[in-house]
């Protein structure tokens, strides 16, 4: 008996078009996505529809229902080179915007070959729309420079500067009559630098976090190296120098599972050493903090008042006020 396959959308059955697609051939999928054959195979492999990069043939059939999310996300998607042209941003600046979370490739893009949604790119351009247009000879325009120069003079990352524009934190946002898109932006570096001083890094310096947790910096360093906490690069809000901060998110995750002895002592109104000794006397051991580490941290689930302490702290916890009290 001859092998048969479900009918696909656009095919004819008894002279009438089918209403819904049941299967996709690789070639039909390629046409709908607007990609090349090899790029389509890479996309299928990256999303688990193919187990190898081998040539499966343009006529190979795939379940259209399973592929529906891929088709919805990637139809009309453009590669990174085309995305850079669309926003008119150099490769380094584009990469900085992606690293800073301003732009993001479509989820499920093949490794090393990101694709971008044109709608997201257009929304980004709309979010940094300049207020005025200036020409090279306009009065006062000499103090305004492009966004790349602004980043260098203000010692700032492209993502930080873009966020200031998007939040409306800058009075001077102009457009060069000679350029378009991202490279057309003209800003005052001094205004940007002043505005950046108001931005608090979303994380703790090791010294500040050590005081907050009641341990020493060596212990904090160990917790970072052991994977308990996550440390990332940021800019100091005053000096704009590169610094490392422990992210608020990782501190939240850590405090969900562990409780510093200092926090327990504050909750019960006793001394830190006394509380720690009481817990160890009943057999509770703190987690290791390296030989040179100082301070004690317990598993929250082992401590009778651990959950109540966490609930009480959540009502007043504001990381910004703890990490950067002077800003």
Q: Quickly list DSSP for 200-253.
A: PPSEE-HHHHHHHHTS-HHHHHHHHHTTSS-EEEEE-TTT--EEEEEEHHHHHH
Residues whose CB is less than 8 angstroms from the CB of residue 276 and which lie 6 or more positions away in sequence, other chains included: 261, 265, 286, 296
Assess contact for 47 and 54: CB atoms under 8 A: no
DSSP 327: -
Task: Write down the pTM of the prediction.
Answer: 0.56
Please give the pLDDT value at position 325. 85
The more confident residue out of 217 and 44 is 217
Burial of 54 (0-12, 13-18, 19+ CB in 10 A): exposed
Of the listed ranges 47-56, 145-154, 246-255, the least confidently predicted one is 47-56
Read off the pLDDT of each residue in 108-130 and give the average, rounded to a whole number: 91
Positions of E strands within the chain:
12-13, 16-17, 23-25, 61-63, 78-79, 115-116, 132-134, 145-146, 173-176, 185-187, 203-204, 231-235, 242-247, 258-260, 297-299
- 139 pLDDT higher than 70: no
Reported confidence tier of residue 197, pLDDT bands at 50, 70, 90 = confident
- Residues 178 and 185: their CA atoms lie apart, in Å, by 11
Reported confidence tier of residue 159, pLDDT bands at 50, 70, 90 = very high
The distance from CA 123 to its chain's CA centroid, rounded to whole angstroms, is 17
pLDDT per residue over 278-306, tens digit each?
999 999 999 999 899 999 999 999 998 98
How many percent of the chain have pLDDT more than 70? 86
Both structure tokens of 93: 């600046």
Kindly list the distances between the CA atom of residue 6 and the CA atoms of 17, 18, 19, 230, in Å, as whole numbers in the listed order. 14, 11, 12, 50
Reported confidence tier of residue 18, pLDDT bands at 50, 70, 90 = low
Both structure tokens of 69: 């999310």
- Residues 58 and 28: their CA atoms lie apart, in Å, by 8
- Residues 280 and 298: their CA atoms lie apart, in Å, by 10
- Residues 151 and 63: their CA atoms lie apart, in Å, by 48
| Radius of gyration from C-alpha coordinates of the chain | 28
Read off the pLDDT of each residue in 152-171 and give the average, rounded to a whole number: 90
SS3 26: helix
Of the listed ranges 39-48, 103-112, 224-233, the least confidently predicted one is 39-48
Both structure tokens of 168: 């409306």
Both structure tokens of 283: 């057999």
Residue linked to tokens 């999928």: 29
Task: Give the closest residue to 313 by CA, choosing from 325, 300, 302.
Answer: 300
């Amino acid at each position: 008996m001859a092998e048969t396959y479900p009918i696909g959308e656009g095919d004819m059955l008894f002279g009438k078009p089918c209403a819904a697609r049941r299967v996709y051939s690789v070639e039909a999928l390629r046409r709908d996505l607007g990609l090349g054959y090899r790029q389509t195979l890479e996309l299928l492999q990256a999303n688990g529809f193919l187990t190898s990069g081998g040539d499966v043939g343009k006529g190979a059939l795939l379940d259209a229902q399973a592929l529906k999310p891929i088709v919805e996300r990637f139809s009309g998607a453009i590669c990174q080179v085309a995305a850079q042209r669309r926003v008119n941003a150099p490769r380094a600046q584009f990469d900085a915007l992606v690293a800073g979370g301003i732009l993001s490739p479509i989820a499920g893009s093949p490794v090393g070959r990101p694709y971008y949604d044109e709608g997201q790119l257009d929304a980004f351009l709309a979010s940094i729309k300049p207020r005025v247009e200036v020409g090279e000879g306009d009065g006062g325009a000499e103090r305004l420079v492009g966004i790349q120069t602004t980043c260098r003079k203000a010692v700032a990352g492209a993502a930080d500067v873009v966020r200031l524009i998007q939040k409306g934190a800058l009075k001077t946002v102009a457009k060069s009559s000679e350029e378009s898109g991202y490279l057309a932006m003209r800003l005052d570096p001094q205004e940007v630098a002043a505005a950046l001083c108001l931005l608090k890094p979303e994380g703790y310096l090791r010294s500040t976090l050590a005081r907050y947790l009641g341990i020493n910096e060596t212990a904090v360093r160990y917790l970072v190296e052991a994977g308990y906490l996550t440390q990332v690069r940021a800019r100091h809000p005053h000096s704009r120098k590169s610094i490392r901060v422990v992210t608020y998110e990782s501190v939240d995750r850590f405090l969900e599972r562990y409780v510093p002895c200092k926090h327990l002592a504050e909750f019960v109104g006793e001394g830190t050493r006394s509380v720690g000794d009481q817990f160890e006397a009943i057999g509770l051991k703190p987690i290791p903090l390296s030989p040179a580490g100082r301070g004690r941290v317990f598993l929250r689930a082992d401590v009778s008042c651990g959950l109540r302490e966490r609930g009480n702290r959540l009502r007043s916890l504001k990381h910004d006020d703890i990490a950067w009290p002077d800003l």
